Structure 1
Amino acid sequence: MNDTIVLRAGRVSLRSSRRALLAYGLLLPVLVGCVLAALSMGSRPLSPAEVFGALAPGAHGPDRLVVVEWRAPRALAAALFGACLGLSGALFQSLTRNPLGSPDVIGLTTGSYTGVVCAIMLGGSGYAAMAGGALAGGLGTALLVYLLALRQGMRGFRLIIVGIAVSAMLTSVNTWFSVKADLDLALRAAVWGAGTLNGVGWAQVGFAAVAASLLALALPVLERRTRQLELGDDTASMLGVPVERTKALLVVVGVGFTSVVTAVTGPIAFVALAAPQIARRLTGRGGVVDLTGAALVGAVLLSLADLVAQHSFAHTSLPVGAVTVCLGGGYLVWLLLRESGRS
């Protein structure tokens, strides 16, 4: 029995398995439920009917202020940023052909953090300055890791180990900046570096959505080419894939998605690491890259983590980065042990 479903709209056709479509169909209601819970829960609890009433056109009053102005930007940011991190992790894991090859493990998230710290120290305060710093830091770190890992071929654990070393070095640089900088700037960088969605407004969500949409334009081409790259560089080259240009584009787009998130929230770890692997197990696609699944799983993971961060304590809200570190640390140790055993 053929498990593949083909959807056609004119000259465009999409192929997917029944299991993948079922997984997508289950993830979407979970994501909607997380967003609805984020809009309902808080110091002013609201029922689903009150939430929908506040979202209705022409609605006024305190419920609309709470839902639309205070809670909705954060809820949508959690879903959007989780999807960006999931996509970034899927691209880098496909590029490195290793489940540990996510931007937070190989140092790109730390590099983006370093770029934003430099932007803050130079007086940059707007989203454009911080996004530019995050992108420059991430791309610079990617280039450094690539050059250091290039000796004897960029394969296997070598890239991962080099990335971990570069990440440790950049963490020391970030700490040095915090110690030497003006106290107000150092505190601002430290609070931002915890990875939090506190204070996210419509302006940040709008800028991030535009940037992510522009990056997403490259995804259809990249998804097709990454499937061919996973057959091996020689085979992909024989199939007409420009291997080096495709890898460079993978790095730029992957760092771009990470930078979109880092510029607003600070570094959020382990979502990019876990989302692609969870998506592959849910959809049953094995070693095949699944960008749609990774985006959905990433959105669900970060939305759930933010709910835990907001409501785990009665009178305070944790940074969501602290929650993802706690949840993802054990997963990283398990992956390291598994990959080390294989090597």
Structure 2
Amino acid sequence: MRPTHSELLTPLEEFTQLHGATVRRFGRRAVDLAFPNPQFLADPRPYEVLASLAAQAGPLDLRYSPFGGFTPVRRRLAGALAKEHALPYAWSDIIMTPGATIALRVVLHALFAPGDHIILISPCWMDYPLYLTDLGLSYTLVSSTHDKHLDPHAIAQAWTPSTRGVIISQPASPSGVIHDHPELQQLATVLKRHARAKPPLLIADEAHAHQVWDNTPCPAPAAYYAHTLTVRSFGKAWEMQGQRTGCVAVSPRLEPRSETTTALLRQMRIGGHCAPTALTQQLAAALCETAPDLKDLADLQHHARQQLHAAGITVLDTHATRFLYARCPRADDRAFVSQLADRGVLVMPSSLFHERGWFRIALNLGVPDLDRALATIGEECARA
């Protein structure tokens, strides 16, 4: 029996209630390392560009755009993605969406049918199963390896006659793992092996692609498998999550290419999903070839890892995202997170990401507030 909407929503709603109650109880003393909402500005450039665009905007700059977004914006984004992926994207391969969540929902609704089966890799973003359930799609959660990398053999074992796709995130969320060249090659081999009249689709969620805070290569899944759709989030890249600006990129090698983009555009209209606001589309175009400055994030990552290691806490060795994925000192990760909330520190239990026994820390604060929270986490781990 698959979980119902209510069963999937309940843990999320309970955590939201815990979050709200903790913030109300502790006020400004609460240390929120749960939802990734950084409270410091690491790179002012996107804010400066946004202010400049707004100051110069005229009526035509803020007009309605087509459902897929403005053509000049899509052309610039296609050019930037072509350089990143080494693939010849055309402007029509890019569908602008109001955030990565809508991009995922549109892909799932447009390209799959009720009864289709999708493979997910756990831990995974919390709402994948919710979307699939709502659309009448079945799914299997396949555990990653002990170090949270892909397990191609387990993916192959989970395949069924109705399997039509696989969803991965690159870099992985919530773990921050970057899937490397060999594992992406092996995943492509599994997908190709199961290709029949209609090849399975690979959905590559690259919402955190611009949050690789060291020099680790982050290969694009689309470079390994032709039938790939890539989801991007410009809000996450520039720490403007609330601006809700994303896109779907259809691989130039995907067949049928034009029918796929048409299906996505039609689903945008059918679902009432307009393109992002005119101003944020222009912002995405202006910044698409500019790498975010991640020095502060790298410094915070190294600092937080040293503090947690010194406290005897196991932290997954990763190279991307604003997150740290740490081993929970007790089996019940939700109970441990509640324990921390009682002391005014908010982190997220891994059970929300469909895996037990870990917790996720979002590096929203700098020192000394971060150190105070890490010290509390260390104390509670020692007591557990």
TM superposition score normalised by structure 2: 0.24
Q: Which has the higher contact order (CA 8 A, sep 6+)?
A: 1
Structure with the bigger percentage of helix? 1
